[in-house]
Structure 1
């Protein structure tokens, strides 16, 4: 086996420690961003559903403002967003280079996408259940937690799984411009130095992370749908 790797992946063997470190960095960026963006995404998604004209607490100004901001943010290509918010990133973490610095644009790029997914998931909740809760005198917060988030859990899990897979791709893009991780390894060490075996291995590891994320997502989707 070692002979096989030395023959076909010589550069990967030399950079084995860096490959492991880059994989850890990618997982770190993915998990940290998923947690932060997950919290903000759910909050914004709930606000969109609740403040809609057919929601339980209609507010035209809040809904239209938030809706337009999300649409604008989703329309900006991520690679351009990295450059646009560089001053804000430097203000928050003191630098624009590295895995921790990449989390800032990753969160800003992921929240609008996830918020829209959460909105769509919560809109699938049976309106009759919401009306029944209102008729029983439930408060807005009670309806949000006991109806929307509880009944919409399968949709929320599906949206979360899709978002994490999308996020792994964004980490690779962030890495390509100095963010660290497998993207940086593939471009800086592989592509720029004509080390194709490094590019291939970095890509395979990213695909493995995607497949693992999908398997975990499918598991939780089945659990929530049969709960």
Structure 2
């Protein structure tokens, strides 16, 4: 049983790390696009921004457990299976991307417009404004958003166990719930709580460092 608990813990960490990294790589640029394509912004494209906003909102509106089931054919196409940790990563990424995008957009909203206007007055290009003004100024907020995303992915990864996604959720359901073993359920919950506390503490530390700078 100890080996199963260790394997399930590593599977959960794998799912969270991979889905978190991929969703950040896609979600951060998407969040920037949602911000800079607004009317009056440096790359104003109202129609494109509206389309992106609708797609993002649709992605955030679908409950994760329904999303997992709905995209099973797509998951099979990508990883060749609908069960296991690799299969669980696909819906985790799809669920997290719009979440990250909106959090990044919210962080960029906190930047004083005067900073952008000053950069434009000095002749900065849109790319320079994004890389030298927007992202550095919103760094703390973006890190806080990514921390929230990772914590959410921990709970989503446990939910994936309900459909054979592997990890601690799968362990808790198969050995704790189906076999009526409260000890396994308690251990599973305890490890998930420790994970969340660890990720949150690390994220808070990085946010404090970013805000201090």
Q: TM-score category by the smaller chain? A: over 0.9
Match of residue 74, structure 1, among 60, 70, 74:
60
Equivalent residue in structure 2 for 1:190, among 140, 157, 176: 176
What's 2:37 paired with? 51
Distance in 2 (CA, whole Å) between partners of 1:226 and 1:97 is 44
Q: Distance in 1 between matches of 2:204 and 2:82?
A: 35
Shift of 1:61: 1.6
Residue 189 (structure 1) shift:
1.4
Partner residue in 2 for 1:8: none
In the other structure, the counterpart of 1:103 is: 89
Query: 1:176 offset after TM fit, Å?
Result: 2.1
User: Aligned-pair distance for 1:54?
Assistant: 2.8
Shift of 1:109: 0.4
Quick check: which has more Rg, 1 or 2?
1
Give a deviation string over 1:168-199, Cα, whole Å, max 9, x none.
11000112210000000011111011111111
What's the C-alpha RMSD, in Å, of the aligned pairs? Answer: 0.7
Q: Distance in 1 between matches of 2:99 and 2:156?
A: 12
Q: Determine the structure 2 residue equivalent to 1:60.
A: 46
State the SS of the aligned residue for 2:204.
Answer: helix
Question: Can you give the 5+ residue segments of structure 2 that lack an aligned partner in the other structure?
Answer: none
How many equivalent pairs are there?
213
Q: TM-score, normalised by structure 2?
A: 0.98
> Paired residue for 1:16?
2
Q: Distance in 1 between matches of 2:73 and 2:42?
A: 39
| Superposition map of 1:1-227 within 5 A | 15-227=1-213
